[in-house]
Chain A
Amino acid sequence: MTITASENQATAVRRNAKSRRRKLKPDPQGILIHALLIFASAIIVSPLLWMVVTTMKEQQDIFTKPLWYIPPQPRLFENIQHVFNKIDFIRYFLNSLIVSTSITVLDLFFSSMCGFALAKYRFPGRDIVFGSIIATMMIPFIVILVPQYILVRDLGWLDSYAGLIIPAAISSFGIFMMRQAFLGTPDELLEAARIDGASEWRILFQIVLPMHVPSLISLAILRFLGEWDSLLWPLVVTNGENMRTMSLGLALLQDDRYGTDIPMLMTAATLALFPIVVVYAFLQRYFIKSVAGSGLKQ
């Protein structure tokens, strides 16, 4: 549909005609594209929908009834009761919330501070600090799993919030992201604030940070989701019921010693995913933006 200047009028007429025709009979390419996308969406959604349908079933329905059978008397409430009888769901949920939120808040605070200094000041050792923090992004967590466990044990933090939160409190990714964001802040702005007598800390927290709320939101989403999902560290560092996170609680719920009460498992999964899906439904634009931005050169 290229429009060159000379053809402008003619094309405009033709396009009008075309768009009128399109309303009556959509082009085959468009139908194909929609068909493919609908197919992909159906594959994504069907396990989730089926999970919800399964929460209404009884165990024997799974084996004897059709896949998408919904019993006339849905057993959702009984299944929820089963979940709460088996595990301390609320406790796990709150633990995950406390741990993930604390890590996110700490990371936002310290990464902003560090990123700001790296972006906006010239100080001895800056390049070494920046270079070595970036280099840590190459280190797989599994490499430091054992020594970090030993360290946390020696600090007496096993099975505690401190043990779950502090070793993850600052991320090189966060520092990098905030530094890249602050690089774009004009120096004149900082100078003007200095002339008005603002301290460097005030400049950071009251002038510069409020300008970078989108970056903070992106970082917060990525960090929170990552920590909410984390399983290996809580598995290693906790041993009792009390400090168990949502992921860990669910993973252990699946263990065979509880038997496989399928509707109960699906109810637990639904309960665990429900808050995330609700938040995602409202904030999906931010979620997608924070991931999309990570690939763009900053």
Chain B
Amino acid sequence: MTEPMSGAASLQRPSLPMKGRRKKQTYHYPGTAWLMVAPAVLFFCVFVFYPVANAIYVSFTSWDLVSPPKFVGLRNYIRLFSDKSFLNSALVTIYYTLILIALELPLALGLAILLDRKIKARGLYQAIIFAPAVLTMVAVAMIWRVVYTPVGGLYLMFTEPFGIAGLQWLNDKDLAMPAVLIVSVWKNVGYYMVIFLAGLQAIPTSYYEAARMDGAGSWKLFRHITLPLLKPFILFVTVVSIIRASQAFSLFYSLTNGGPASATKVLPYMIYEVAFGFNRMGYASAMAVVMFGVLLVLTAIQFRVLRPQS
């Protein structure tokens, strides 16, 4: 459900057998096959498809979980678009997602390029930089909350040389989101670095050798060999990080609680709060449905734009 790689396969086009090749052939152990598939099919019907349908239905109702749901038509959706706090959350989510990607993708790629060679302690560097990816998010948030302590926090190690101290990271409207972004980059960069590194290592060295013999410099190599061949990985990492960033909840819950003054109240946090804090299931579902729609459109666009032509 919350597995880190839920977007992993969205890239690979399912390689369904071509219709033409299936010449009236008899089925292959259909009974056994269905027995093997049945638990999963049943599971997805009950725990995914039914809830999705239900989410759409609930989004057209007003429901506090206690009295029966009341059908209200499009009212929730109409209200959404004039709801300042929803619009704020949407903007905060977009801001967080875009800046995070702009920071972590180049950093991850840069680190991967540094590690894509035979150097001493390569495995150690990789293991250290990847490590935050396996650490429990809530514990990470606890650490960083203390790192951001205005007086006595570890952040002073980096700011004090510049004469900056006493920053109210988590209580200042303008600093809270940067604070969250720093933690996110710290936690994710190794994860994407490892994926990029796998991509870099899949590029045959003979390509580079050939280009170098033609007199290409390192920038040209990067621009004309590395980058084009890495495109599927860049697409993959972009899709995964958009999905992950737009769904981030734990970090916001345990680092900032959406504050101060809703400056870090991303949509998942707001949906959670509206549903389970204010018991407005219909309104929360409408938000979730809108968010889902936007994500679907975004993913479709990304595939159009970034899919490698082959």
Contact = CB atoms under 8 A, between A and B. Distances in A.
B271 A33 contact: no
A129 B149 CA distance: 51
Contact of A266 (B135, B143, B190, B254): B143
Interface string A90-126: 0000000000000000000011011011101111111
Interface in B262-310: 267-268, 271-272, 275-276, 281, 284-285, 288-289, 291-292, 295-296, 299
A275 B197 CA distance: 27
A172 interface: yes
Given A173-B6, A228-B136, A288-B127, A141 B1 contact: yes
A123 to B, nearest CB: 4
A238 to B, nearest CB: 12
B195 interface: yes
Interface stretch (A13-21, A39-47, A74-82): A39-47
B1 A171 contact: yes
A251 B138 contact: yes
B281 A146 contact: yes
Contacts of B147: 47, 50
A110 B40 contact: yes
Contacts of A143: 52, 55, 288-289, 291-292
B22 to A, nearest CB: 8
Given A117-B33, A121-B33, A231 B138 contact: yes
Given A123-B34, A223-B3, A231-B254, A145 B195 contact: no
Contacts, number: 349
Interface size band for A: 35 or more
B2 A229 contact: yes
Contact of B292 (A139, A173, A292, A294): A139
Interface string A192-236: 000000001100100000000000000000110111111111011
Contacts of B120: 34
A84 B184 CA distance: 29
B81 interface: no
A63 interface: yes
Contacts of B27: 121-124
Interface string A268-290: 11001100110010001001100
A295 B195 contact: yes
Given A37-B115, A142-B271, A291-B191, A122 B28 contact: yes
Nearest to B275: A146
A48 interface: yes
B156 to A, nearest CB: 7
A263 B272 CA distance: 30
Tier of interface size on chain B: 35 or more
Contact of A272 (B50, B52, B58, B136): B136
Interface-centre pick from A142, A145, A265, A294 (highest chain B CB count, 10 A): A142
A287 B131 CA distance: 9
Contact of B30 (A124, A134, A136, A298): A124
A138 B281 CA distance: 22
A144 B130 contact: no
B278 to A, nearest CB: 12
Where chain A touches its partner, the secondary structure class is helix
Interface of B: 1-10, 12, 14-17, 22, 25, 27-30, 32-34, 36-37, 39-41, 43-44, 46-52, 54-55, 58, 65, 111, 114-115, 117, 119-120, 125-139, 141-147, 149, 151-152, 154, 156-157, 186, 190-191, 194-199, 202, 209, 212-213, 232-233, 236-237, 243, 246-247, 249-250, 253-254, 267-268, 271-272, 275-276, 281, 284-285, 288-289, 291-292, 295-296, 299
25 contacts: A2-B209, A2-B213, A37-B119, A40-B125, A41-B125, A43-B186, A44-B131, A47-B144, A117-B33, A117-B34, A121-B36, A130-B16, A139-B292, A149-B276, A150-B54, A168-B2, A170-B44, A223-B3, A231-B138, A232-B268, A247-B138, A265-B145, A266-B146, A284-B130, A291-B191
Interface of A: 2, 30, 33-34, 36-37, 40-41, 43-48, 50-51, 54, 62-63, 67, 110-111, 113-114, 116-118, 120-127, 129-134, 136-151, 166-177, 180, 183, 200-201, 204, 222-223, 225-233, 235-236, 246-248, 250-251, 253-254, 262, 265-266, 268-269, 272-273, 276-277, 280, 284, 287-288, 291-298
